[in-house]
Amino acid sequence: MAIGSTMHTFTVQLADVDRGVYEELSLRLARHASETAANVLLRVLAYALEYEEGIAFSEGISATDEPAVLVRDATGRLTAWIEVGAPDAARLHAGSKAADRVAVYTQREPNRLAQAWAGKTIHRAADIPVFSFDREFVEDAASALERRNAVTVSVTERQLYLDVNGRSSSSPIAEQRVG
C-alpha cells in the first residue's frame, strides 16, 4: 500500500445472471490519496463484472505498467487487461499486446474516449469492448462508499442493479468497441 493510501474493504454479493456467476467476494482495495471515489467504485465494478479464477487488483493509479484489474492463469500468464476510467491509447495498445483480452469500464462518454483514441495505434482495437454506465449512476453510488462496504451487484439482460451500503441504483451496461 502506497503512502497516503486508505484501505477499503468490500463484501460483495455478486449475481451475474447473464454470465451465470454467483459469488460472495471479500475485497481489499487501497485507495490512493488522489483517487476519486468514482474510480474506486469503477475498479470494484470491473472486478465483479469480469470475475473469474485468477482475477486481482493491481496497485491502482500508482501502477504504471499494469491495468486496474488483471487476470492471470494458473501459470501466471496475463490473460485479461482491464482498465477503468479513460486510459490513453498507449496503455490499451500495451495491454492488447500483453494479454489475450482487454476491456475498459467507464462512466465517461464513450464517443469522447473514441475521439481521444482516434488515429492512434491500438493493437486489436476492434476487439476491445468499452463498457459504460450512466455518469450520475457512478457518482451517486460512489458517494455512498465508506472504508467498510456492503455491496450487492446484480446483472440481468445487461442491466446493472447496485446497492452500496443501503443506497440502491441501476444503470444499463452499454457496450461499444474501441476500433
pLDDT of 99 strictly over 80: yes
pLDDT of 2 strictly over 70: no
Band of pLDDT at residue 63, cut at 50, 70 and 90: low
Could you report the per-residue pLDDT of 43-56, keeping only the tens digit for each? 999 999 999 999 99
The pLDDT value recorded for residue 76 is 95
Q: Does the residue 82 lie in any domain?
A: yes
Q: Does the residue 12 lie in any domain?
A: yes
Nearest to 47 by CA among 2, 87, 103: 103
Q: Does the residue 89 lie in any domain?
A: yes
Q: Does the residue 130 lie in any domain?
A: yes
Q: Does the residue 45 lie in any domain?
A: yes
Average pLDDT, the chain: 93
Cell for 85? 476510467
Query: What's the CATH number where 13 sits?
Result: 3.10.640.10
The boundaries of the domain holding residue 162 are 6-177
Q: Does the residue 154 lie in any domain?
A: yes
Ramachandran sector of residue 119 (left: φ over 0; alpha: ψ -120 to 50; beta: rest): left
Question: Total structural domains in the chain?
Answer: 1
DSSP H stretches of helix in the chain: 37-49, 89-98, 110-117, 135-142
Is the Cβ–Cβ distance between 68 and 106 less than 8 Å? no
Cell for 19? 454470465
- Does residue 5 or residue 166 have the better pLDDT? 166
Over residues 14-35, the mean pLDDT reads 95
Q: Does the residue 1 lie in any domain?
A: no
The pLDDT value recorded for residue 129 is 97
The pLDDT value recorded for residue 178 is 87
